[in-house]
Structure 1
Amino acid sequence: MKNSKLTRGYFPVNLSVKTICKNILNLGKPPLNHRDITRQQSVYFSQSFLLFIRPVMFISFICLLAIWSTETYLQQISSFNKFCYPLLTLFLATNLIYSYRSKTNIEVVTCLFFILFMTYFVVDYYYIFIYLEVIGESSHYNLSSLSQWLPIAYIGAFLFLKKYNALKFSLVFALCLFLPELLCFDNVYNHSPIAHSLTLNLMLSHPVYICLLWGVSHLKMMSYHDRNNANLMYKLSKIDSLTKVSNRRGINESLRKMLSEYKRGSTQFSVVLFDIDHFKSINDQFGHLAGDEVLIAIADSIKSELRLFDELGRWGGEEFIAILRHNNYHLVSEITERLRIAISSLCFESIPQKITASFGVVHCKAEISEKNDQKAIELLIAQADKALYKAKNTGRNKVVIA
């Protein structure tokens, strides 16, 4: 926004940070290049990540307490878990509290949470399938209990890591689980029949988990890109290809939104319709390329003069339209006069004559908003067009307010 007296009375716009859910639904403007796509994708997944990480940690904390209590009561807890459960519970509680107190390092905290639990799974797996098996103290409960929790490692990897990193981690993790059975084939040690059967089931089922999660992750990325491309195409359908401002479709949509806000009493706005004077003679004398150069230059000049929350569009041919938010009518007159001066100040090497424009302005009023949206828009445009033609018929290069 420019620091000038024209911006002192600007209409206050809600600049608060969008909620996480709105980011996930991608209600913002779609990106226009690869860098923006990558940035938006990063925001999308980080915001999605924040939505469920706290519930995951909370549920994990409750489940861990329940497992710890149950195993202690039934005297099924191993000596290794007698040491690990208190540490894991304390770590989860600390992370959960920290995640609500600070949002800056939440991803680092979650990464530590993920690494710690994956390390615990591997160490506990080797403790049960190797150490307790060797000394003959392994129980069916310990074997089956751990086996049913191991697939969480793959789910966590594809949730918290990028797709290819998740695949690499999953393959390494699976290899670590298969190693006891590979050692068994070399007669390093012998599994009990139960442990041998469970390990074989792991070797057969875990690759299926990895393939399924890889497929789901791939489909998720394809879905995201398809939606992103659809949003991009929808945005481009509302942009004028020459001047890169809104076209008639985009302006109509903006007018409907402004009318809706006006009816709720949250904003006032005015419509400015302006036309380049003697534009046909420019095309006839200097060619259509020169005419296009004038249109582009005027669009760029007007965009630089408008405020962030105003909107500019090309209504058709050499005719443009601007939607100005405001809280007083006097401000609109000042802004429109500034736009007129900006256009008349433009210079072109290929066009020796002075370029000017005529402006017609109409304020949205209660009697207009009482009609249905389409009729209200048509009435606004008709009144602005009438004021524009009055400006042309009374000397051009001037502003007329309806």
Structure 2
Amino acid sequence: MLQLQSIREHQEDIITGLKKRNIDATSLVNEIVQLDEKRRHTQAQLDNTLAESNTLSKEIGMLFKSGKAQEANVLKKKSGALKEDSKKLGDLLNETAQSLQKLLYQLPNIPHESVPSGSSEDDNEEVFREGNVPVLHDKALPHWDLAKKYDIIDFELGVKISGAGFPVYKGKGAKLQRALISYFLDKNSEAGYTEVQVPHLVNEASGFGTGQLPDKEGQMYHITEDNLYLIPTAEVPVTNMLREEILKPDEFPVRYTAYTPCFRREAGSYGAHVRGLNRLHQFDKVEIVRVEYPENSYNALDGMVEHVKSILRELKLPYRILRLCGADLGFTSALTYDFEVFSTAQDRWLEISSVSNFETYQASRLKLRYKDENGKSQLAHTLNGSALALPRVLAGILENYQTVDGIKIPEALIPYCGFDTID
């Protein structure tokens, strides 16, 4: 969430910045500024009324002590009127503050200066590419056919149990899935991230804290009776571990990693691009989360990008990195790099990771702060990334490592799997 002081002082810069998202925020920014003026004016009126009421209360007490009951009773009537005024002003202030908060939730983060303009994902900027695309045999198959051929993932059984988008992993498929989770967690731990296990259900405050609410409410599974949400990513519970905290200097940088299943409704898409593991309602992901001093957050973002690169190099998967344009940028992000692995059998790129810097946007919602050298509270910067999302990594491995005789296992995963081939 953008801070009110920043909006007041940099209205034109914010409006200009949001044009990268193809958003004309002029009317929304103006409405926020006007409503904030009303809030501040109402607060000043309330403060003056309360101060006058307190002064009268002291005068009334002194008059009664002096035996001037008649004069005191006159002032009591005035004091009663002031109390009524203060209640009305307090109600107006609360109503105005709530309306202002709703408007602030509608304003997305300002894109970083390096974010390219654009109108769709076609305008994302490729900034890096690495790895050789393997040449497959003539009868190479997409992963959904490989899964059926080797009986390692059962999509139909998942439909029977839950519905489309809930696959059942079997035999070596289940072991490979578990191996990837352990491998990713180990790589993240070696890089200095502390592993945590977190709840898979979060409350409304957590959803608002990281920006899933109200922006992505329709994509989340909601348990209405308890007003809890199934997490769309581990980013939500992990980052909310620090909600309303004031961090000490020796706690920086904060680095966490967590494995969780993720749940997304993902309704309305059909076709080959969402077949098999390409898009699911439930999938596994290993996440990395960082909290940094503002001056170090973009160095930290570069470090996260290099970390994800190192994992993909070990897996020997061909991949590329995109800097997302304004139109494709997430609501809360200032800068995002997407990693995509090349699926040889599908002849297309599959997104497997997003690494983002939210600057102070999430911290403002979370009230996540630190004390600067002058003892003043400042908002920290939050970052997160997938390291990695499993379904499309698994799809890439199955398709790119397939041979006539079976599917080879990447060398880095063999110690975790206990086997080197699926056949």
Q: Same-fold call, TM > 0.5?
A: no
Structure number with the higher strand fraction is 2
TM-score (norm 2): 0.28
Structure number with the higher helix fraction is 1
Larger Rg: 1
TM-score (norm 1): 0.29
Q: Which has the higher contact order (CA 8 A, sep 6+)?
A: 2
